[in-house]
Structure formats: C-alpha cells, structure tokens
Structure 1
C-alpha cells in the first residue's frame, strides 16, 4: 500500500465537493478498490468514503417496489428484503463470503459493474432504476459494457429502486475461489412479460437475452428455452471455461432459474 488522504463526509453534498478533486475517488465497501490499490493497479491520492453518509443506507419496502440505499451492505439486503423480494435477498446472501457480505455494498457493486458481478443481473432483469445525486437512470440505460456505466464525473449512486416481480430467481455457476459467476442468470416475471439478464458470460458484461424473454413471456417454463441457443461470439473465454461453454451454461442456468422461480 502507499500513502493517501482519507475523507469521510457525512452528506452527499460534502462527498460531491470532495470528489471535485481529479485525484479523488469514492470508496464504498472497498471490496474491489482496496485490492486493486494493494496491487498498484489503482492509485488515487484521496479516498472519499461514502459509508459515513447515513442517508445512503437502509431498505424501504413500499407497494410493489423495494428501494435500497447505495451504501447498504449485501448482508443487510439479504436480511431485509427476504420477505418482499426473496430472489434478490438470495442473490445478496450468496455474494462472496461473510466478510465480503458485511462490508460490500450494492452501490459499490453497481458502480464498479464487474462483468461477473451478481447485482447487475438483478438490476437489469428487474428493470430497476439507479438513482444518483443528479438523476434517475433506468437499468436498460445504465450498463454500458465491461466496467462501464452511464455514471458521469462527480455522480454518486444514492439508491436503487427495484420493481417486485410476480416470480423471480437467480441461479449462478460459481468460480469456487472467488464465488463470482462463471455465468449467472436472473429471471423475473412481470405482468407485462419476462426479463432475463445474464452475467459472468459476455465480454460486454451483463446483458438481456431477448430470445429467451420472448419465449418465456408466452410460456413460462424451462421447456420454452430448451430449443434456444446463445451465440458464443463475444462470450468470455479463460482458464475456467471457453466461450462455447459459457454460452451453453447460460442457457442451462436460464432453464434452472425459470424452474426455481416457478
């Protein structure tokens, strides 16, 4: 590690002011940022912690929506949305290990947008809205590729609002050491149709599988996707699995998620 300044504001306005410095970087749970700093892959001169901002924490359930503060930990999400949105709670409760779940935050995960992270699949499949200090961004417009989002300089996620579906499930095939997804599928059934989001498989990060959505909107059963296939072009390939393997795995997990949701 190296020397850096540390700032812990108590309001969003103070955080935005601190981040006006080009060498400052926001810190939420730190489960990604701190390891990259230790490896000297990231070297901000100032860390602006968001964990002292109480307005960014907590879960609110109202009507057909769940709203989660950006600085809310995975463990809190798993505990407090279990009744209202079981699939989202189960996803949060299976991220990393207990240390990660009690430190990592939903806002940090969505801001980082790791291509194998779980929350992006939940947000995209749910049709969530990412709320920042400046605006509201629909999930369909928020994710822009691997580690890329619609967030602009000085923009901070304050909360995320999830519509609650009629039925939903998240199934992932884990890389055993990291518990990131080699592929993960979140399926959400709404009155107006089905949304399917896949993480961990594509070089472009999380994406919606439109063919599966169309098939499942007409017949919400695992059999509806049995004849479909995902193109391996653009899928990730590494020592854990080929592009073809990930494409096939995503299809299989889609069927399993539908069965679990049903």
Structure 2
C-alpha cells in the first residue's frame, strides 16, 4: 500500500544520442575454456583481461582440485599443471559450464571425485553423462538424479553418440578430455547440433593450446590419441554480445 504522503512524479524521456565510452566485459565463455586448457599444460600460461565472477571462480577452484597451479593477480592469472591433486570435491556453485566441463576431466585426472552445487544447478540434467557412465562401467551416486554427484572410474576412448538437442556443454566436456587418452575417439552428434558457435569456440580455444580435433562434418568429430596441451598466453576478448544493448539503444 502506498503512503498517504506519496506524490506522483513524472519522468520525461527525450530522444537523444548516447555519448561516451563503454568497456565490454571479457567473455565468460572464452575464460572458462582458456582456464581449463591452460590448466592441462605443464608449461605456464598467462591469461589476462579476466573477471573473477562466481562462475569463473568455480572453474578456477575446480581445476585446482584437478591438479592445476593457478596464481592470481588483479586482472590476470598464471596457470600450469602441477599434478598436485587436492581433495576429491569440486564445488561448482551455480555454474553449469564448470559442472559439465569438468565431469569428464575428473574421470581422466582422478580415480574418484564428488561434484557439488548450489541453487538451480542441483536441478540441471546430467542424463547424457549418466548414460556414458553406465556404458563405461563408471560407478556413480546421485541424490535422486541430482547433485551431489559422486563418480569413481576412468573415462575410456571410443565411439560416443550425443543427441544434438542437448546443451553443447556435454560435447565440450568430452572435447577437453578425450585427447588425453591413449585410445582414439569419435563423437557423433545425432540431429541438428545445439549451439554450433559454442562448439566452434571450444575447438578454436583448444587449438591455441596445441590440441586439435578433426571436424569431419557438422555432426562428426575425430579425436587423436595422447595429445598434449601446451602453454599459450591469452588475453580474453570482450563479450561483444553485451555491446548489442548499447548499439540498439543508440538507434532507437
């Protein structure tokens, strides 16, 4: 209920051109991918123009748990692999990227790992991975299909069929992990792939770190065996999708 002393006020908006400068925030999608790739190299990489959001922080801490040595400064990090494995739990907070990217990696780098989350992340479907677990004899425990997820076992190379109508985060998670194995792999996407641009982004970032996945066509990818991630100093590009708001406002 409005106060008795409330007075209506009018706000007059006049058409005008926006003036000034804006700084486009760094791309969170690229940041996740660069941190993961750099964490898998034994040589040190510098990742600059990075913003330590909650999601990026979750990926940094998750990769530390999987053996990365990450030193932080104001707007950059120094990253390399140390093989110093920390505890068996990764708290993804509310980051779906962290969760889906790191699950396959944990099955390459550790014998056992538990994934935790907060908020709506606990509701995110992981059925694609559960199916892989069952076919690969990987033990897993969930809370009625939700987080926390405890997994024990090892990811195996081979043939993977992934529905195209699910998040490309599942495909990206496998892309990061399968090149590390000593058996070649192939991923076949059934149907029209969702978020093709994110799949391409993953391949582009991995290539900078010396890991290549052969794109046969839009639905088929071949992964060579025993590849090694190498250092690359990455200045994270701006997320120019964020600039669209200001560009649109200036033409109204």
TM-score by length of 1: 0.25
Rg (Cα) greater in structure: 2
TM-score by length of 2: 0.25
Q: Which has the higher contact order (CA 8 A, sep 6+)?
A: 2
